[in-house]
Amino acid sequence: MTKKDKIVLFTQVGLVAALLLIPGVIGFSLKYDIKAACNSTFRTLTAIYPFFIVYFTNFYVLCPKLLERKRYGLFLVANIGVIALANVQIFFTDFSNVDEKYRWGIWIGIAFFFVFNLCIAALATGIRSIMRINEMKKKLKEEQQKNTEAELSWLKNQLNPHFLFNTLNNISGLIQINPDAAQDSIAKLSDLLRYTLYESNRKYVSVREEIEFMQNYIDLMKLRCGPNTTVETSFHVQDTSMQMVPLLFVSLIENAFKHGVSSNKPSFVRIRMSNKGRELIFTCQNSNYPKDDKNRSGSGIGIENMKRRLELLYKDSYNFKQTLEKEIYQIQIYITCPS
């Protein structure tokens, strides 16, 4: 028996005890007679014990054994049987002590008792059903939480190799162009990997930590860009101690450099972050040079994973906007930082 079940049982027993003691207390207070109080309590017990039999039998036996197993017909028959057995003593006692010409009144009383017992059975069934529904909701919520955590873990596990693969590609290309810069970028990569391996395991990190990570990542991406590419960053957040999900915008930055930078055309990448109170605003804007219709800004597994993480972690506390006008692609994300 769980702690919750014990509380329910003790509450029910307490109510029964209170109902039995009230008549005795009243009888004693009126006559100051212990015998009268005991008689009042006994009469009350005799009158109402069938109701408690019906209630507790339904609550602890019929509902879990029959109703919750969808054996509705047997549940109804069993209830009628329990009501009949619980009231059989009252029926025979009252019926035998009443003159034959007044026994029609007993039949009316029996009908009343039967209906009242049905109400008691319905009450027990209702309370038991509400408790079961609440228990099922709790289990469902726990299961959904487990599924959410498992999916987030899967998304994060996809993000880290994806990030590492793209960064190593950048360094590989940079080694041929500028070996000294490649050496510096390896040191920065070490810091970035340390962040992704350790800090990203936390549910939230400070905005300050995330900005530092993004700036290092952008610097690493810039090393591969030619002179025809302009990269602008602006991080103006008043309270950088606010908490946010780690590595949330990495996919957007990677997407901007992947699709926004051309080797022979003027290109730009603009990344900004600001805040209004506890609302964080991230804007990423880039020129758009897709290789084909399937390879354009806003496509790819990284963006889809980021959207899914937003849905799971921020639920109704975020807003995602993306626009593509002529050759300019822009994404804006509004998230409410937890207090």
In the structure, what pLDDT confidence band is assigned to residue 257 with cuts at 50, 70 and 90?
confident
Least confident segment among 21-30, 33-42, 179-188, 301-310? 21-30
Whether residue 251 lies inside any domain: the answer is yes
Least confident segment among 96-100, 114-118, 182-186? 96-100
Whether residue 162 lies inside any domain: the answer is no
List pLDDT tens digits, range 18-47.
555 554 444 444 454 555 545 555 555 566
* pLDDT computed for residue 96 by the predictor: 57
Mean pLDDT of the chain: 77
In the structure, what pLDDT confidence band is assigned to residue 10 with cuts at 50, 70 and 90?
low
In the structure, what pLDDT confidence band is assigned to residue 296 with cuts at 50, 70 and 90?
very low
Q: How many domains does the chain have?
A: 2
| Helix spans in the chain (H) | 3-31, 34-57, 63-65, 72-96, 103-177, 179-198, 207-222, 250-260, 301-314
Higher pLDDT, 225 or 210: 210
Q: Calculate what percentage of the chain has a pLDDT beyond 70.
A: 69
247 sits in which H/E element: none
Residue that terminates a domain, selected from 84, 111, 140: 140
Q: What is the CATH number of the domain that holds 194?
A: 3.30.565.10
Residue pair 255/298 in contact by the 8 Å Cβ criterion: yes
Residues 266 and 211 grouped into a single domain? yes
In the structure, what pLDDT confidence band is assigned to residue 272 with cuts at 50, 70 and 90?
very high
Whether residue 68 lies inside any domain: the answer is yes
Residues 193 and 279 grouped into a single domain? yes
- Which contacts (CB < 8 Å, 24+ apart) does range 62-70 have? 63/124, 63/125, 63/128, 63/129, 64/128, 67/125, 67/128, 67/129, 68/132
Whether residue 313 lies inside any domain: the answer is yes
Region 86-97: mean pLDDT is: 63
In the structure, what pLDDT confidence band is assigned to residue 297 with cuts at 50, 70 and 90?
very low
Residues 200 and 274 grouped into a single domain? yes
Residue that terminates a domain, selected from 140, 170, 203: 140
Residue with tokens 């409410």: 336
Whether residue 155 lies inside any domain: the answer is no
User: Which DSSP category does 231 fall into?
Assistant: E
Residues 205 and 67 grouped into a single domain? no
Least confident segment among 105-119, 140-154, 197-211, 238-252? 140-154
pLDDT of residue 283 exceeding 50: yes
* pLDDT computed for residue 34 by the predictor: 56
pLDDT of residue 150 exceeding 50: yes
Q: Calculate what percentage of the chain has a pLDDT beyond 90.
A: 18
Higher pLDDT, 260 or 233: 233
Coil, helix or strand for 223?
coil
Q: Any idea how long the chain is?
A: 339
Which residue type is seen at 184? Answer: D
Nearest to 239 by CA among 272, 275, 190, 263: 275
pLDDT of residue 159 exceeding 60: no
Q: Using N-to-C axis directions, what is the helix angle for 34-57 and 3-31, rounded to 10°? A: 150
Region 219-236: mean pLDDT is: 87
pLDDT of residue 295 exceeding 50: no
* pLDDT computed for residue 24 by the predictor: 46
* pLDDT computed for residue 79 by the predictor: 86
* pLDDT computed for residue 190 by the predictor: 82
Region 97-111: mean pLDDT is: 65
Whether residue 102 lies inside any domain: the answer is yes
Look up the domain containing 119 and give its range: 3-140
Residues 47 and 103 grouped into a single domain? yes
Residues 184 and 107 grouped into a single domain? no
Residues 122 and 187 grouped into a single domain? no
List pLDDT tens digits, range 42-62.
555 566 677 788 888 888 888
Region 289-304: mean pLDDT is: 59
Whether residue 173 lies inside any domain: the answer is no
Whether residue 81 lies inside any domain: the answer is yes
Residues 185 and 130 grouped into a single domain? no
How many whole angstroms separate alpha carbon 187 and alpha carbon 223? 13
Region 309-322: mean pLDDT is: 89
Distance of CA 5 to CAs 67, 87, 289, Å? 18, 28, 64
